[in-house]
Amino acid sequence: MSEQTTLDAAAFTALGTARERVTLPSATFDGTVNMPVMHQVVKAYLANQRLGLAYTKTRGLVVGGNQKPWKQKGTGRARQGSTRAPNWPGGGTVFGPHGDRNYSEDVPRKVKALARKSALNARASEGAIYVIDAFNYTEPRTRTVKALVERVGADGQKVLILTDGVKQNVHLSGRNLPNVHVLPFGDASAYHILWSDVLLIEATAIGHTLAPIAEKEAAPAAKAAKAAKPAKAAKPKAAAKAAAKGATAGATMGATTGATKSAPKAKAAAKQAAPKSEAANDKKPAAKKAARKKGD
């Protein structure tokens, strides 16, 4: 019996930061690669995608041809009964498909499992499997998955992301990228694994639990530091303009305050002068009346 092979893989955080390499579980990654079984399962998978909708017409379904092309005897030609016979151009088809063919193939469950295991081992031996600590995305962001793919060095390649169960945010984040496919780890078949060039597998999906690193804790602090940018120093000309505006505003306020304070005094003086002017106005009509009486 051959010795069991130990396989390892590169590990990354969900942000794409490299971590120490991890050993893949031997229950699945034991180095088994069965090429004939993978071929059988992939061929059956592709055959099961066929719908078998091809359809041809027999001579009875082709329009026309109800009249003999020529009479039965006397022409020297072979007798013909219809121009829609299979031996005529434009005639019907013999033994053609009629849309009822089933191309599906049945594959035993254990054979499928062996093909899937072989595909995973083949990719692991090529170094095409990367372990991601956790896909804890709080919201769907296409640029997050795109940045992760670029940081692991898989940009431009076909990438299969295998999550621990159904994770809607990861699925929505990756579905708009043409070469990225997201599936739960248990739903990936041998065809999906062999279709991809690179596999990003969540650690918990294969029984790994990676400890969080300081980069995750420092990420929010770094974002906050970027958000709080230092205030820019004012330019000399701008400072002079601001000072001039402040001086003008202060002078205007002082003049307004002085006018406001002197207004009550002016009103009081006007009130004191008002009775005198009224008395003078009363004396003028009396003087006019006395002058008129003297003239009379």
pLDDT tens per residue, range 151-165: 999 999 999 999 999
So what's the pLDDT on residue 225? 46
**Is 140 among the domain residues?**
yes
| 161: phi then psi, degrees, rounded to nearest 5 | -100, 120
Let me know whether 106 and 185 are in one domain: yes
Q: What is the pTM of this model?
A: 0.65
Where residue 275 falls (left for φ over 0; alpha for ψ -120 to 50; beta otherwise) is: alpha
Across the beta sheet with 8-12, the strand order is 18-23, 8-12, 129-132, 198-202, 159-163, 180-184
State the residue range of the domain holding 271.
Answer: 230-296
Greater confidence (113 vs 4) lies with 113
pLDDT of 264 higher than 60: no
* Residue that finishes a domain, picked among 217, 244, 266: 217
So what's the pLDDT on residue 218? 43
So what's the pLDDT on residue 222? 45
* Contact (CB, 8 A) for 14 and 148: yes
Let me know whether 294 and 156 are in one domain: no
> CA geometry: angle at 181 spanning 176 and 206, to 5°?
135
**Is 76 among the domain residues?**
no
* Residue that finishes a domain, picked among 163, 188, 217: 217
How many structural domains is the chain composed of?
2
Let me know whether 123 and 196 are in one domain: yes
**Is 59 among the domain residues?**
no
User: Mean pLDDT, the chain, as a whole number?
Assistant: 82
* Residue that finishes a domain, picked among 158, 186, 217: 217
Let me know whether 208 and 256 are in one domain: no
- Which tens digit of pLDDT belongs to each residue from 30-83? 999 999 999 999 999 999 999 999 999 999 999 999 999 999 999 999 999 999
pLDDT of 121 higher than 90: yes
Let me know whether 23 and 165 are in one domain: yes
